[in-house]
Amino acid sequence: MSANKKVSNGVKVRELAGSRRVFEIEVPQEAIIEKYGEVYSEIQKAAEIPGFRVGKAPRYLIETHYKDKAKEEVQKRLIADHVIRAVKDSGLNTIGSPIISDVMFESEKPLTFKAEVNVKPDVKLKSYKGLKAKKQKVNVSTEEVDKVVEELQERNAQLKDVEGRSAKVGDWCLCDAEVVIEGKPAEKNEGVWFPLNSKSTKREFLDQLIGSSPGDTKVVKTTLPINYPRKEQAGKEAQFLVTVNQIKERILPHIDDEFAKDLGGFKSLLELRGHIREELTKIKEQDARFQMEDDLINQLIKSTNFEAPTLMVDSEMGRLLKDARARLLYMGYKKEDIESQEPKMSEKLREEATKKVKGFFILEKVAEMEGIKVTEEEVCKRIELLASRSKRSVEDENAKVEEV
């Protein structure tokens, strides 16, 4: 942390770690009085005070009725004006919005406050030409194509009513489930689907539902998990009264030419498999190119010494953490378990976020040195590519770019 440096009358700046600067600003009485005059004049034009037409109430009544509102508006405008002026006078190239703190605004005294800003780092690149990175060879196996075809088959399965037999492994049971704890009904859910496979349904339920028929009520004894949504019931012994309403079996379509035609746009299974191979090749080619780019950027990061702006690192880390949460929830992890692991996740994600931010400024510097200019159309295409790579929406990725 450096000592205060005078920028102009009433403005000092101090350097902080992480490409940050903090301005200490004092606004004199003359500027405050002038701003009050401006604000009260605006309020007076639209003020509605009993006994007076709109805009005709005397100034002293305006000051009496709108004192607090005027003070709030004056403070807001003075802070905005003087932060802009301070940044301009300092010659700093700032990014993002300032963080305002320590505001002191008392009658007949100067307005004082602090404004913390992030500044664009001064990137001094060493030689970046001649760097080498190996591009991975791309190969799509028959097994990978088979896997996609099987996923399409699973996705296009149909549920059909079961007749003349009881439920078996692979079926789906539509049930009503009532939870009983310590002999008292605690919760009831109607229309719950139980897929009869060990991947989706707990063993205690499978043991009871396999062999059941519509109209049967099964008693499932289990211990509620520690992270059960209702904390007062977590860890307790419970009985589930499960009433079977319907049993359905999943009918998988045959993988043949008709299957390919039903998906639309394909004349045969061979053509479908060829299309899948092409798409997988494109994805792998794109990933290989991204990996090569990442390797080159990592080499530049290691050879270039500068601090990544804290504001951008925090923002990027927040995005990465949000994405990680969403992925883990989708994979079936409990919200409480994810939250307990967030401190560890944040530590790792901060490193990744710092790398991403540094990479951005390094590439910007390379573009500047090479005289590379990017059109709006190219930016839009790149945003779409980044969104597909990071599994975020184009809007999220665009917001990230605009923030810079």
Question: pTM of the entire structure?
Answer: 0.59
Task: Please check whether residue 285 is in contact with residue 138, taking contact to mean a CB–CB distance below 8 angstroms.
Answer: yes
| Phi and psi, residue 396, nearest 5° | -65, -45
Q: Say which DSSP state 112 is in.
A: E
pLDDT tens-digit profile of 358-402?
998 888 888 888 888 767 676 666 656 655 655 555 455 555 545
User: Of 21-35, 46-60, 243-257, 311-325, which range is least confident?
Assistant: 46-60
307: pLDDT strictly greater than 50: yes
pLDDT tens-digit profile of 66-85?
899 999 999 999 999 999 99
Q: pLDDT-derived band of residue 404, with 50, 70 and 90 as boundaries?
A: very low
What is the dihedral angle through the alpha carbons of 125, 130, 131, 133, rounded to the nearest 10 degrees? 160
Task: Please check whether residue 53 is in contact with residue 60, taking contact to mean a CB–CB distance below 8 angstroms.
Answer: no
Instruction: Kindly state the tokens that stand for 295.
Output: 């390797």
- Segment 222-246 shows an average pLDDT of 83
Q: How many whole angstroms separate alpha carbon 345 and alpha carbon 27? A: 43
Task: Please check whether residue 170 is in contact with residue 249, taking contact to mean a CB–CB distance below 8 angstroms.
Answer: yes
What is the identity of the amino acid at 250?
R
Q: Which CATH class is domain 158-251?
A: alpha beta
Whole-number mean pLDDT of the chain?
A: 86
List every span in the chain annotated with CATH 3.10.50.40: 158-251
Q: Which CATH class is domain 5-119?
A: alpha beta
Q: How many whole angstroms separate alpha carbon 292 and alpha carbon 42? A: 59
pLDDT at 130: 80
Q: pLDDT-derived band of residue 231, with 50, 70 and 90 as boundaries?
A: confident
List every span in the chain annotated with CATH 3.30.70.1050: 5-119
Residue of higher predicted confidence among 6 and 64: 64
41: pLDDT strictly greater than 60: yes
pLDDT at 65: 86
Residues sharing a CB contact under 8 Å with residue 333, sequence separation 6 or more, in sequence order: none
User: Of 123-127, 217-221, 300-304, which range is least confident?
Assistant: 123-127
End-to-end, the C-alpha distance of the chain in Å comes to 25
CB atoms within 10 A of CB 392: 19
Q: Is 86 exposed, middle or buried (0-12, 13-18, 19+ CB in 10 A)?
A: buried
48: pLDDT strictly greater than 70: yes
Q: Is 58 exposed, middle or buried (0-12, 13-18, 19+ CB in 10 A)?
A: exposed
Residue of higher predicted confidence among 75 and 108: 75
Pairing of strands 20-27, 11-16: antiparallel
pLDDT at 135: 87
CB atoms within 10 A of CB 256: 11
Residue of higher predicted confidence among 22 and 386: 22
